[in-house]
C-alpha cells in the first residue's frame, strides 16, 4: 500500500531543490542571457553560414584565342548564376598564381587555335584548373562548369546543322519531383540539425556547471549532510535544465518557422517527447562529468571534448552513410546522431513513432546508462 504522506514529503523535497535551482538561474545574469542569446545567435548565424550551396565561383579566364567562339563560351559562363569572371590574362601562369593566392576558385584556359580546331577538326581542347582545397566545393564547381560547356557544345552542333536547337531524334523527357524538401532549401536541412546542437549545448553545459559550482562554493558538503536523498537531489538538479532546454528548443523552432519558413510537417509532441528523452541522457552525461571534475574550467574542457566528437560524428554537417563502417558503429553510442535524425525525420518528413523505434531504444539505453553512472559516481564521491 502506498504511503501518500511519505510520497508527498519526497515530492516536496524535490520541489524545494527545483526552486533553489531556478533561484540560482534567476540570480545568474550571464546564464539568463545565454538562455536567450544562444538559440537566437545559433539559428540566425549557423543556419545561414553552415551551407554547401555553391552560389559564387570566381573564374580566372586565360583566353589565348580571342575568337568569337571563345568569347561566346566566356559569355555563357558569365551568364550562369554560379560563375563570375574576375580577371583575364594571356598567360596561364597568372591564373595559377591566383589559385595559389586563393584569390580565384577556377582557371579556364582557352588555347590558341580553339575556334580553328573546331572548324577544321570538329573538336578542340580546353583546360580547367580547379582550387580543390575544399573538395566538395571543387567537385560542384567543376560539375557546373562542365555542364555549361556541354550545353555550349550542343548549341554549336545545332548551329552547324542548321537546327534551331539541338534536339536528338529520340529522347526521353524526365520530370523531377523532390520529396520532403521540394524547394531544395539547404537552410531547411540545417535548421533541425542546429536545433539538436542547441539542445545539446544547453543541456550539457548547464548540468555540468551546476554540480561543480556547488563544489567550488563549498555548498555541496552542506547538501550532503542534509536528509535529502541523492536521487531527490539529482532529480531536482535535472528538472530545471530540462525545462530550460525545452524552452530553448521551442524558441529555436519559432525562429526557424518565422525566419526560414521551416515546414514543420510532423508532430510537435513527438519532437518534444524525444527531446525530453534525449535530455535525460545529455543531462546525465553532464552530471557525470561534474562528479569527476573539481572546477568549472575542467568541466568546460571535458564538455567541449565530447561536444566536438558528438557534433562532428552526428551527421549534422556530413552524411553518416559516407563515414567508414567502424565510425557508423561507434555512432550508435552518439546521442546527438540519434536526436538529430529524429529532428530531421519528424520535422521534414513527418515520420511517426513507428519509424523511430531504433532511435527510441538507443536513446533509452544511452539515457539510462549516463544517468546510472552519474548517480553511482555521485554516491561514491558524496
Q: Which CATH number does the domain housing residue 113 bear?
A: 3.40.1710.10
Examine the domain organization and report whether 147 and 274 are in the same domain.
Answer: no
**Has residue 276 been placed in a domain?**
yes
Q: Is residue 14 part of a domain?
A: no
Q: Are residues 373 and 272 in the same domain?
A: yes
331 three-state secondary structure: helix
271 & 318 share domain: yes
Assess if residue 217 is contained within a domain.
yes
Quote the CA–CA distance of 13 and 8 in Å, as a whole number.
9
User: In total, how many domains does the chain have?
Assistant: 2
Q: Which three cell numbers stand for residue 138?
A: 571543387
Residue 262 CA, chain-centre distance (Å), reads 15
Residue at 172 is within a domain: no
Nearest to 61 by CA among 73, 45, 46: 73
Q: Which residues pair with 85 in a beta bridge?
A: 59
Instruction: Say what the pLDDT of residue 50 is.
Output: 64
Spatial separation of the C-alpha atoms in residues 307 and 255, rounded to whole Å? 23
Residue 198 resides in a domain: yes
Which residue, of 131, 161, 191, is where some domain finishes?
A: 161
Residue 12, domain member (yes or no) = no
Cell numbers at 107, concatenated: 582557371
Tell me: do 259 and 326 sit in the same domain.
Answer: yes
What's the angle, vertex CA 242, arms to CA 239 and CA 245, rounded to 5?
A: 150
pLDDT of residue 380: 43
Are residues 67 and 33 both part of a single domain?
no
What pLDDT was estimated at residue 381?
Answer: 47
Q: Which of the residue ranges 45-54, 89-98, 161-170, 315-324 would you say has the lowest mean pLDDT?
A: 161-170
* Residue 37 pLDDT level (bands cut at 50, 70, 90): confident
Residues 109 and 253 in one domain: no
Residue 283: count other Cβ atoms within 10 Å of its Cβ: 28
Going by C-alpha positions, the residue among 234, 370, 216 that lies closest to residue 296 is: 216
Stretch 118-137: mean pLDDT: 80
Burial 155-164 (b: 16+ CB within 10 A, else e): ebeeeeeeee
Cα torsion at 282, 288, 291, 297 (round to 10°)?
A: -50
**Domain-located, residue 176:** no
The region of weakest confidence among 16-25, 148-157, 212-221 is 212-221
Q: Are residues 226 and 341 in the same domain?
A: yes
pTM exceeds 0.85 for this model: no
C-alpha cell at 99: 589559385
Domain shared by 266 and 360, yes or no? yes
Structural domain boundaries, residue 143: 57-161
Q: What is the mean pLDDT of residues 286-294?
A: 84
Q: In the predicted model, is pLDDT for residue 360 greater than 80?
A: yes
Same domain, 212 and 354: yes
| Highest mean pLDDT (candidates 3-12, 27-36, 127-136, 272-281) | 272-281
Q: Using alpha carbons only, what angle is made at residue 165 by residues 164 and 167, rounded to the nearest 5 degrees?
A: 125
Written as one string, the DSSP assignment of 198-221 is: HHHHHHHHHHHHHHHHHHHHTHHH
C-alpha cell at 225: 549532510
Query: What are the CA-CA distances from residue 104 to residues 31, 132, 193, 295, 309 (Å)?
Result: 43, 11, 31, 47, 33
How confident is the model over 187-219, as pLDDT tens digits?
888 888 888 888 888 888 888 877 777 777 767
Same domain, 150 and 66: yes
Would you give the distance in Å from CA 77 to the centre of its chain? 32
Q: Which three cell numbers stand for residue 104?
A: 580565384
- Closest by CA position to 347, among listed 259, 278, 246, 264: 264
- In Å, what is the CA distance from 134 to each residue of 54, 99, 139, 163, 340? 12, 13, 9, 41, 25
* H/E stretch holding 312: helix 296-313
Asked if residues 207 and 281 have their Cβ atoms less than 8 Å apart, the reply is: no
The grid coordinates listed for 277 are 528523452
Backbone angles phi, psi at 42, to 5 degrees: -65, -45
Asked if 147 and 220 sit in the same domain, the reply is: no
Q: What angle do CA 163, 142, 155 make, to 5 degrees?
A: 5
- Classify strands 106-110 and 57-63 as parallel, antiparallel or unpaired: parallel
Taking all residues of the chain, what is their mean pLDDT, rounded to a whole number? 81
Within this chain, do residues 31 and 61 fall inside the same structural domain, yes or no? no
Return the pLDDT at 21.
75
pLDDT in tens, 305-334: 888 888 888 888 777 887 888 888 988 999
Whether residue 346 is contained in a domain is answered as yes
Amino acid at each position: 500500500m502506498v504511503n501518500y504522506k511519505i510520497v508527498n514529503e519526497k515530492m516536496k523535497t524535490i520541489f524545494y531543490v527545483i526552486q533553489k535551482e531556478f533561484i540560482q538561474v534567476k540570480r545568474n545574469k550571464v546564464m539568463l542571457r545565454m538562455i536567450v542569446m544562444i538559440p537566437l545567435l545559433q539559428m540566425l548565424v549557423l543556419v545561414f553560414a553552415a551551407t554547401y550551396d555553391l552560389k559564387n565561383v570566381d573564374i580566372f579566364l586565360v583566353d589565348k584565342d580571342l575568337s568569337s567562339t571563345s568569347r561566346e563560351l566566356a559569355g555563357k559562363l558569365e551568364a550562369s548564376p554560379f560563375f563570375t569572371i574576375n580577371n583575364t590574362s594571356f598567360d596561364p601562369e597568372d591564373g595559377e598564381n591566383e589559385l595559389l593566392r586563393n584569390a580565384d576558385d577556377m582557371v579556364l584556359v582557352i588555347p590558341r587555335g580553339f575556334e580553328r580546331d573546331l572548324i577544321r577538326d570538329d573538336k578542340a581542347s580546353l583546360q580547367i584548373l580547379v582550387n580543390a582545397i575544399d573538395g566538395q566545393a571543387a567537385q560542384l564547381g567543376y560539375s557546373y562548369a562542365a555542364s555549361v560547356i556541354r550545353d555550349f557544345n550542343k548549341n554549336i552542333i545545332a548551329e552547324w546543322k542548321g537546327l534551331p536547337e539541338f534536339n536528338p531524334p529520340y529522347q526521353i523527357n524526365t520530370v523531377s519531383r523532390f520529396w520532403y524538401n521540394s524547394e531544395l532549401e539547404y537552410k531547411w536541412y540545417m535548421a533541425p540539425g542546429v536545433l539538436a546542437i542547441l539542445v545539446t549545448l544547453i543541456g550539457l553545459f548547464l548540468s555540468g556547471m551546476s554540480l561543480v559550482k556547488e563544489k567550488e562554493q563549498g555548498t555541496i558538503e552542506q547538501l550532503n549532510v542534509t536528509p535529502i536523498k541523492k536521487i531527490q537531489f539529482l532529480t531536482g538538479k535535472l528538472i530545471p535544465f530540462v525545462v530550460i532546454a525545452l524552452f530553448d528548443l521551442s524558441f529555436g523552432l519559432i525562429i526557424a518557422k518565422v525566419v526560414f519558413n521551416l515546414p514543420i510537417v510532423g508532430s510537435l509532441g513527438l519532437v518534444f517527447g524525444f527531446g525530453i528523452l534525449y535530455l535525460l541522457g545529455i543531462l546525465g552525461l553532464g552530471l557525470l562529468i561534474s562528479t569527476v571534475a573539481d572546477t568549472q574550467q575542467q568541466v568546460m574542457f571535458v564538455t567541449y571534448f565530447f561536444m566536438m566528437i558528438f557534433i562532428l560524428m552526428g551527421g549534422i554537417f556530413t552524411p553518416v552513410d559516407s563515414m567508414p563502417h567502424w565510425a557508423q558503429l561507434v555512432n550508435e553510442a552518439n546521442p546527438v546522431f540519434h536526436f538529430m535524425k529524429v529532428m530531421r525525420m519528424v520535422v521534414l518528413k513527418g515520420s511517426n513513432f513507428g519509424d523511430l523505434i531504433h532511435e527510441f531504444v538507443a536513446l533509452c539505453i544511452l539515457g539510462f546508462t549516463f544517468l546510472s553512472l552519474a548517480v553511482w559516481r555521485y554516491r561514491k564521491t558524496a
